[in-house]
Homo-oligomer: A and B are copies of this chain.
Amino acid sequence: MRGVVMHAPGDVRVEQREDPRIIHPTDAVIRLSATCVCGSDLWPYRGVETVGGPTPMGHEYVGVVEEVGSEVTSIQPGQFVVGSFFASDNTCEICRAGYQPSCVHRVGMGALGCQAERLRVPLADGTLVATPGTPDDDLIPSLLAASDVLGTGWFGAVAAQAGPGRTVAVVGDGAVGLLAVLAARQLGAERIIAMSRHEPRQKLAAEFGATDIVTERGDEGVARIKELTDGLGAHSVIEAVGTQESMMQAIRSTRPGGHVGFVGVSHDVALEGQELFFSHVHLHGGPAPVRQYLPELIDLIWQRKIDPGKVFDLTLPLDQAAEAYRAMDERRAIKALLRV
């Protein structure tokens, strides 16, 4: 089969890879309908993370089940499924508490290379959720978004306790930040401040429910959030970047007693203890338990109540993955979908 392989920073190729097959009786093999490039794929692409030799890429996927192992009971060949970027048993104590990416049997899907024609999904019963039927073609981008960026933005909003009566600020205007706006709106937040200086992203943020746009960053961005919140800061701040600057912008934009939900994968971040201590914020985040939210998110998409697929502003065939990476790296695209 064909699949995306990164050879070095900036060097992404579509190559022949070995066909996946059932290895464990709890596996499924799916034929992908679509996959996509994640903001976190850009870290190795930009050389910020090391690329240790040719590496299959991608961790977002939707598709049709082709085959299941002998112990799989809840998923059948022919079903259209969405899965999370962490395979999880969904039965251990950590999963039952809602933290599937920390499942005691977790498998990171990135290692399996989901930007490909076919994919082995471990722990299929605990990882995959079937849609009510075969989706209309126009629903596929939204269902694909649910497998990571929507679920991640959703977790950010939940971790930040976005909800009725609360003012929410979102740091980061990538797909996750934009979908955190959508999530905050769905969760009933009163006021949603998107921090963005890019017009197309501001427009999408407004479409997803942002009530205010702040273009300033860093300490100036913090000052602007304080101005908009009687000098106190927002109740809920979602961090969707992962840098030192964005984390500090998030923490400092939050009022004492408020909540920071951080979902940008941290890179070279060090939080100074004393500032955190006196900030009085709640801090929670990490890899999103997408699996926990999938049934609800699929339902919202199926009923066409939300349209998270709008974050895909570039659609290319799998073979043009290199251009998809380039477009996202150069910020010409918010997020690139690869049709398989």
A interface, CB within 8 angstroms of B: 93-94, 97-99, 101-102, 104, 230-232, 242, 244, 247, 255-257, 262, 265-274, 276-287
Contact = CB atoms under 8 A, between A and B. Distances in A.
B277 A271 contact: no
A286 B282 contact: no
Given A94-B255, A230-B93, A277 B273 contact: no
A262 B94 CA distance: 22
A99 B257 contact: yes
Contact of A280 (B101, B232, B247, B274): B101
Nearest to A262: B277
Given A98-B257, A256-B94, A271 B273 contact: yes
Contacts of A277: 262, 265-266, 285-287
Contacts of A102: 256-257, 278, 280
A266 B286 CA distance: 23
A277 B265 CA distance: 7
What DSSP secondary structure best describes chain A's contact surface? mixed
22 contacts: A94-B232, A97-B257, A99-B257, A101-B280, A102-B256, A104-B231, A104-B232, A256-B286, A265-B274, A266-B276, A266-B277, A267-B273, A267-B274, A269-B272, A270-B271, A270-B273, A277-B286, A278-B286, A278-B287, A280-B287, A283-B283, A283-B284
A162 to B, nearest CB: 16
Contacts of A255: 94, 97
A83 to B, nearest CB: 19
A93 B232 contact: yes
B282 A276 contact: no
Given A230-B93, A282-B282, A266 B257 contact: no
Contacts of A279: 286
A274 B49 CA distance: 13
B266 A273 contact: yes
B266 A274 contact: yes
Contacts of A284: 281-283
A163 to B, nearest CB: 14
A321 to B, nearest CB: 27
Closest CB pairs A-B (n = 5): A269-B273, A266-B273, A102-B256, A99-B257, A271-B271
A226 to B, nearest CB: 12
Nearest to A266: B273
Contacts of A98: 257
Contacts of A242: 273
Contacts of A231: 104
A269 B270 CA distance: 9
A97 B254 CA distance: 14
A5 to B, nearest CB: 25
A272 B270 contact: yes
A269 B274 contact: yes
Contacts of A271: 270-271, 273, 276
Given A247-B273, A273-B269, A280 B99 contact: yes
Contacts of A94: 232, 255-257
